[in-house]
């Protein structure tokens, strides 16, 4: 439809595929493996559908949300139609997510927790860094160590859980803000505690990710921690700082 027709100027299927192919090529030039790039694009597509579902699930399915009084039969039909559309939109979001990360299997099963991919580690880093900086100053561990810690953290989750991990981290930080502030003030980069030793992880953005897993999946975290041979003292020191009295 042309601009002169006055319709919505939405991208058609060919244009969407063109944008996807362009993004894949650009990511390939940046060294991102094609499987990682496709998963990242799939997560964006599934997320857009899920956010649209969430936005439309409010007023559109609430009785009386249509301006004017067109009668009960009209209102009843409108609500039924809106619910049907929302149900299909939700199903479409689910199918898109499954294509990106696979179907969810048994929670915690070893087969459902494959080794974290580079792109998943990077997504976790992008999620946790601004949360960490909202509590304390920059004082990172060696980047290679950071990747190893995040890989251990992600190893406790299925790909489906990793897809929503940024939201989980944000919720954890919001729910425990006061406790995190006290912990970083007492043991973090601005405290008298040095970077080296059992409290080393308090000098890394990964500390928030590790704490969230200690709360949600402590057994799985210790299994992954031992598997990648990270210092047990780091985990114990973080737990001690977290449990320190106010």
Which tens digits make up the pLDDT trace of 133-143? 999 887 766 77
Token pair in block for residue 122: 């990077």
Measured between alpha carbons, how far is 1 from 111 in angstroms, rounded to an integer?
49
How far apart are the two ends of the chain, measured CA to CA in Å? 64
- pLDDT reported for residue 1: 45
Enter the pTM of the model. Answer: 0.77
State the virtual CA torsion across 64, 65, 71, 76 in degrees, nearest 10. Answer: -90
Would the pLDDT of 110 be above 60?
no
Measured between alpha carbons, how far is 20 from 45 in angstroms, rounded to an integer?
10
Would the pLDDT of 65 be above 60?
no
Q: Span 183-189, mean pLDDT?
A: 89
Cβ count near 159 (within 10 Å): 21
Give the total residue count for the chain.
246
Would the pLDDT of 68 be above 60?
no
Would the pLDDT of 26 be above 50?
yes
Mean pLDDT check: name the lowest of 58-72, 151-165, 200-214. Answer: 58-72
Cβ count near 161 (within 10 Å): 19
Mean pLDDT check: name the lowest of 10-24, 30-44, 105-119, 141-155. Answer: 105-119
- pLDDT reported for residue 107: 44
Position with higher pLDDT, 197 vs 148: 148
Token pair in block for residue 61: 């399915």
Residue by residue, DSSP assigns 164-197 as THHHHHHHHHHHTHHHHHHHHHHHSTTSSS-SSS
């Amino acid at each position: 439809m042309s601009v002169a027709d006055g319709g919505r100027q939405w991208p058609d299927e060919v244009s969407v595929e063109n944008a996807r192919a362009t993004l894949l090529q650009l990511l390939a030039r940046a060294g991102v493996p094609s499987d990682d790039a496709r998963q990242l694009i799939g997560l964006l597509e599934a997320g857009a559908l899920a956010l649209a579902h969430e936005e439309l699930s409010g007023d559109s399915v609430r009785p009386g949300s249509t301006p004017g009084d067109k009668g009960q039969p009209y209102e009843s039909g409108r609500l039924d139609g809106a619910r049907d559309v929302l149900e299909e939109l939700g199903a479409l979001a689910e199918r898109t997510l499954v294509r990106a990360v696979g179907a969810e299997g048994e929670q915690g099963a070893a087969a459902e927790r494959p080794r974290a991919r580079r792109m998943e580690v990077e997504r976790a880093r992008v999620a946790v860094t601004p949360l960490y900086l909202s509590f304390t100053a920059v004082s990172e561990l060696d980047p290679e160590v950071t990747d190893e810690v995040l890989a251990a953290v992600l190893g406790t989750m299925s790909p489906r859980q990793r897809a929503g991990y940024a939201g989980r981290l944000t919720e954890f930080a919001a729910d425990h803000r006061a406790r995190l502030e006290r912990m970083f003030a007492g043991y973090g980069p601005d405290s008298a505690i040095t970077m080296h030793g059992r409290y080393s992880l308090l000098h890394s953005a990964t500390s928030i990710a590790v704490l969230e897993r200690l709360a949600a999946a402590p057994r799985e975290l210790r299994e992954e921690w031992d598997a990648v041979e990270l210092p047990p003292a780091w985990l114990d020191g973080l737990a001690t700082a977290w449990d320190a009295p106010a």
